[in-house]
A and B are shown apart, each in its own frame.
Chain A
């Protein structure tokens, strides 16, 4: 055993800490690596891998139905090359390699990697600081949602122009599928990514996430995954909806590989992020932060992480199997050779349903988190809120087959699944009751974040009620595959999920950027989008009730009117969202400077200064009370109050 003599030490928070030997300048190889080198690595390796594969593949290679295999192999090689090259180029492998060879990271290295003194450059690097990762997540997610939103506008334009067709059916289908999965991915990360990373460690009084390097890893895997999805649009697209049912997925053009690779990589990103968030929450809460003193938002993020952790692998494997069927001619889903498409549907929905709660719970938790602040009273029954979240998690894995009532799989199982689906309304109901109870007799300080919460509560109600109709097997015979389903889940995903995320972004904006999100433009954008949203999707319920099938670009004239209305509504949403976006951009650049705790919140993330220092808290905080003790007089204040009262009485009698 080689013992270093005369070890260097470094002062960290007041104690001398021995350091491993420092090799070169702090940060080592990472100094030269950034997003640019990632792009070079990714595109370079993709090109090389594609080129070599093209050379090596004999032109006679074909599959069982005589379709040439070369495009499949080349596209797959390009995608793999992109992911590996990009991660290599940005420096994702440096840490693991240093671990293997035993060149441990020093404090100086770690500070460099956390972005210390790097200024804006740190946003372009494999930075480990959770606050940087949060901002990076926010930007990437907004880009992804923007892309998916653009597709939505094109889809609505096509559906609204009932007199002509803008796109070919194949391209239209590919837009539908890409829009769907891009939105789903974007919505999965929109709260847990930006706010989970930026806010949660501060909210629990920690200095960073449990595994800062894994934090960067999850972000950059996400960044690597997204372009593959976009690329598939140029390779024939995803033509069978976001759920890419088999056997259509196997018959689809090679673009399907883009979807499969996206999911495989994104699933790793989600697993890494979930492990990190859960470990952080379980082991790094401040002294005194018992479970009953842990803010509800932390519960929400924790719940989403559990569900992502256990459910995402099923989705990932469904895509691995699909990829194997396509590339290696296995037959998991090919009935001719013993495969089953129901296997696909089960694996898919084993994730698919928990994933809707991965989206809903964090945004509900944002709403519950900021209500006490703006109503200046404690959350109405914190315990019920926790029970609601626990109940949703517990039932989330037991309801998946309500998406398969009409597929013919196990008809006898429909009724148990109907029961479990309807049961889940109970814990969801808890959450709604907590919200209503908190509003009850509260004095609302209606600022932009609270306005978004109003929208969430309204939309969630409609989405939830229509969901109960869908979970009813006889009713679903009529509704399944219709626009009614589409309207239902948009009320949930966009109405509750996205508006909830907007609430969270507006609320935490001052902490994240040091400035207020402009209330005027922000609220104009919000309410415009809200009104547009109601027009679009209420009208879509009508189309669904009339019987308009989803994912079809030419339809009967009887549906024209509701589609025209929906399209007009969609443009209103688009305008509203652009206004909201402009509020974000303008306020970020030149908004009103906010103090460190502009909402007068009691939770820890607001108690540190803004901009938040690298280590969050110079001295780690200690928690001594429940999170939402607004308006609960503490003895000292009560005493002061009673003195005040005397004074007023005197003033009154005068």
Chain B
């Protein structure tokens, strides 16, 4: 019997490389499920955008360059309008910075630069906090409320999904940072930092999809929408 010289899992005695391979696959599969959920959101957004049912896509106060389809509603005067586009990109940009920092931390871990790992993970965490704050500010200052039509609903849900992802990232980032400081992530055992970088990269893509939708698919192309009655309880 010999004491293992390569890093092994304390619970099963398997080499860390085995655990890492397994976890990496697990993470890819989690991302598959996450992608499916994000696609469900994208479908919801684009579907309602393309239908513009009852002319109710745009918030009631929006000025449309196309026909004013939302004016067919029994409108109450409203100032609700489309969201400004740049904050979606701004938030994405800051998230990309956080992701890059995590990647930097992970690459540092692999090359044995432990200080780089701690700095990368720690800063990544802090920047992710900033992203969360920005996302929150954006969400609470939208020029529309949840009840202002399908566009408002879809955008708010995209932002809620962002916030959910950010909370996950905060948890992961905090873990990587604390574990790095304890020496649990290092030159021989870096797969968790790698997985964190992968997942953050996917979250950037999810944010990117949201930014694309809210920038390029704003006014509905459907200027002659179907008109239905309401099902609201009388």
Take A16-B4, A313-B40 as given contacts and tell me if A99 and B233 are in contact as well, using a CB distance cutoff of 8 Å: no
A318 contacts the other chain (Cβ, under 8 Å)?
Answer: yes
Most buried by A among B41, B48, B52: B48
Contact: A340 with B25, CB < 8 Å? Answer: no
A599 to chain B, nearest CB (A): 31
Bound together, the chains give a CA A312 to CA B57 distance in angstroms of 27
Interface residues of A in 244-266 (CB under 8 A from B): 247, 250-251
Contact: B1 with A14, CB < 8 Å? Answer: yes
Contact: B150 with A336, CB < 8 Å? Answer: no
Residue of B nearest to A311 (CB): B36
A466 contacts the other chain (Cβ, under 8 Å)?
Answer: no
Bound together, the chains give a CA A282 to CA B32 distance in angstroms of 16
Bound together, the chains give a CA A408 to CA B30 distance in angstroms of 35
Interface residues of A in 324-354 (CB under 8 A from B): 324-325, 328-332, 334-340, 342-343, 346-347, 350
A311 / chain B contacts, CB cutoff of 8 Å:
36
Take A105-B11, A251-B231, A312-B33 as given contacts and tell me if A16 and B26 are in contact as well, using a CB distance cutoff of 8 Å: no
Contacting residue for A210 out of B26, B151, B234, CB 8 A? B26
Contact: B26 with A275, CB < 8 Å? Answer: yes
A11 contacts the other chain (Cβ, under 8 Å)?
Answer: yes
A124 / chain B contacts, CB cutoff of 8 Å:
none
B76 to chain A, nearest CB (A): 12
Contact: A335 with B36, CB < 8 Å? Answer: no
Take A16-B4, A65-B234 as given contacts and tell me if A100 and B33 are in contact as well, using a CB distance cutoff of 8 Å: no
Take A15-B2, A107-B11 as given contacts and tell me if A337 and B178 are in contact as well, using a CB distance cutoff of 8 Å: no
Take A311-B36, A331-B147, A338-B149 as given contacts and tell me if A100 and B54 are in contact as well, using a CB distance cutoff of 8 Å: no
Contact: B183 with A12, CB < 8 Å? Answer: no
Bound together, the chains give a CA A284 to CA B52 distance in angstroms of 50
B40 / chain A contacts, CB cutoff of 8 Å:
313-314, 316-318, 347, 350
Contact: A101 with B178, CB < 8 Å? Answer: yes
A280 to chain B, nearest CB (A): 9
Contact: A104 with B153, CB < 8 Å? Answer: no
Bound together, the chains give a CA A310 to CA B150 distance in angstroms of 26
Contacting residue for B44 out of A9, A13, A250, A321, CB 8 A? A321
B229 / chain A contacts, CB cutoff of 8 Å:
335-336
B101 to chain A, nearest CB (A): 18
Bound together, the chains give a CA A641 to CA B162 distance in angstroms of 69
B19 to chain A, nearest CB (A): 9
B52 / chain A contacts, CB cutoff of 8 Å:
338
Contact: A16 with B2, CB < 8 Å? Answer: yes
Bound together, the chains give a CA A67 to CA B152 distance in angstroms of 22
Contact: B33 with A339, CB < 8 Å? Answer: no
Bound together, the chains give a CA A350 to CA B40 distance in angstroms of 10
Contact: A67 with B178, CB < 8 Å? Answer: no
Contacting residue for A334 out of B25, B26, B231, CB 8 A? B231
A598 contacts the other chain (Cβ, under 8 Å)?
Answer: no
Most buried by A among B21, B156, B233: B233
Question: How does the 8 Å CB contact mask read for A275-296 relative to B, with 1 for contact and 0 for none?
Answer: 1101100111000000000000
Residue of B nearest to A337 (CB): B56
Take A18-B10, A335-B54 as given contacts and tell me if A279 and B183 are in contact as well, using a CB distance cutoff of 8 Å: no
Contact: B184 with A104, CB < 8 Å? Answer: yes
A647 / chain B contacts, CB cutoff of 8 Å:
none
B interface majority secondary structure: helix
The number of chain A residues with a CB under 8 A from chain B is 74
B83 to chain A, nearest CB (A): 15
B193 to chain A, nearest CB (A): 13
Contact: B3 with A9, CB < 8 Å? Answer: yes
Residue of A nearest to B172 (CB): A100
B55 contacts the other chain (Cβ, under 8 Å)?
Answer: yes
Interface residues of B in 116-155 (CB under 8 A from A): 146-154
Interface residues of A in 39-61 (CB under 8 A from B): none
A335 / chain B contacts, CB cutoff of 8 Å:
53-54, 56, 228-231
Contact: B183 with A1, CB < 8 Å? Answer: yes
Take A309-B33, A334-B230 as given contacts and tell me if A328 and B186 are in contact as well, using a CB distance cutoff of 8 Å: no
Contact: A102 with B57, CB < 8 Å? Answer: no
Bound together, the chains give a CA A108 to CA B31 distance in angstroms of 32
B1 / chain A contacts, CB cutoff of 8 Å:
11, 14-16
B152 to chain A, nearest CB (A): 7
A619 / chain B contacts, CB cutoff of 8 Å:
none
Bound together, the chains give a CA A282 to CA B156 distance in angstroms of 38
Take A330-B153, A330-B156 as given contacts and tell me if A275 and B231 are in contact as well, using a CB distance cutoff of 8 Å: no
B171 / chain A contacts, CB cutoff of 8 Å:
96, 100
Contact: B10 with A104, CB < 8 Å? Answer: yes
A19 contacts the other chain (Cβ, under 8 Å)?
Answer: yes
Bound together, the chains give a CA A9 to CA B1 distance in angstroms of 12
Take A338-B54, A339-B56 as given contacts and tell me if A329 and B13 are in contact as well, using a CB distance cutoff of 8 Å: no
Bound together, the chains give a CA A12 to CA B18 distance in angstroms of 16
Residue of B nearest to A20 (CB): B10
A11 / chain B contacts, CB cutoff of 8 Å:
1
A8 to chain B, nearest CB (A): 10
Contacting residue for B54 out of A106, A275, A283, A336, CB 8 A? A336
B41 / chain A contacts, CB cutoff of 8 Å:
317
Bound together, the chains give a CA A251 to CA B2 distance in angstroms of 68
Bound together, the chains give a CA A340 to CA B57 distance in angstroms of 11
B47 contacts the other chain (Cβ, under 8 Å)?
Answer: yes
B94 contacts the other chain (Cβ, under 8 Å)?
Answer: no
Take A67-B233, A331-B56, A331-B150 as given contacts and tell me if A13 and B13 are in contact as well, using a CB distance cutoff of 8 Å: yes
Bound together, the chains give a CA A340 to CA B51 distance in angstroms of 8
Interface residues of B in 1-59 (CB under 8 A from A): 1-4, 8-13, 18, 21-22, 25-26, 29-30, 32-34, 36-37, 39-41, 43-44, 47-48, 51-58
A-B contact list, 6 entries, CB within 8 Å: A15-B13, A110-B11, A283-B22, A312-B33, A320-B157, A347-B40
Shortest beta-carbon contacts, A-B, top 9: A338-B56, A338-B150, A330-B153, A12-B13, A317-B40, A247-B231, A313-B37, A313-B36, A110-B11
Known A313-B40, A340-B47; further 11 A-B contacts with Cβ < 8 A:
A1-B114, A2-B183, A12-B13, A65-B232, A105-B11, A211-B26, A274-B33, A283-B25, A320-B157, A329-B146, A337-B148
Q: Footprint of A on B, CB under 8 Å?
A: 1-4, 8-13, 18, 21-22, 25-26, 29-30, 32-34, 36-37, 39-41, 43-44, 47-48, 51-58, 73, 114, 146-154, 156-157, 171, 174-175, 178-179, 181-184, 186, 228-234
